[in-house]
Amino acid sequence: MTPRDRDPEGRARNARPRDGLGRPLPYGAEGVPRQPEGLVRAPRETLVEAQRLLDAGMPFHAHEVLEDAWKSGPEEERALWRGLAQLAVGLTHAARGNARGGAALLARGAESVAAYADSAPSSGLHGVDTAGLTRWAGALARELRRDGAAVPAAERAPRLRLSR
């Protein structure tokens, strides 16, 4: 039996390098640097970093940044951050060619994000473009259901905020 990779605290953690879509690569291959886990960032910092990763075609890594906000944010915001993370994972699946999984996660994420549409005038909480993200997710989910083809992640990345 091969021993499992462990992190410094002894928890099981796959140490294989990963590509920009989060797929494991062989040991020794050059991968994309992983996002540090468990970072607590300000909401704006989270959105800026997640947008940078989305624009770079790395939605899996953007999901990790958004997941940190989901896990560390105030209870009343957790569904928003979870929804944003689900949108990033939906794009990850779409880019990997998993149309069914991508469409399902996009729909689930859009539903969570849409619930924050009335949180601020003309935009959601923290300037998140709830209406634009909901439209983007719906359009991409329909395309995935219709065509089933993988999409280029960077070219199809959404805008998280109304203004940068």
Query: Which is more confidently placed, 10 or 96?
Result: 96
Calpha distance 11→4 (Å, rounded): 9
Whether residue 148 has pLDDT greater than 70:
yes
64 or 8: which leads in pLDDT: 64
> How far is CA 15 from its chain centroid?
21
Say if CB 83 and CB 113 are below 8 A apart: yes
pLDDT reported for residue 117: 87
Residue 103, Cβ neighbours under 10 Å: how many?
23
User: Tens digit of pLDDT for each residue in 104-135?
Assistant: 999 999 999 999 988 754 456 899 999 999 99
Does the pLDDT value for residue 35 go beyond 90? no
pTM of the model: 0.88
For the cut 80, the answer to whether the pLDDT of residue 2 exceeds it is: no
What are the chain's domains? 43-147 (1.10.3450)
Kindly give the residue spans of alpha helices, DSSP state H, lying in 56-129: 59-72, 78-96, 99-114
Phi, psi of 29 (to 5 degrees): -75, 155
pLDDT for the residue numbered 59: 97
Tell me what pLDDT residue 163 has: 67
The one-letter code for the residue type at 23 is R
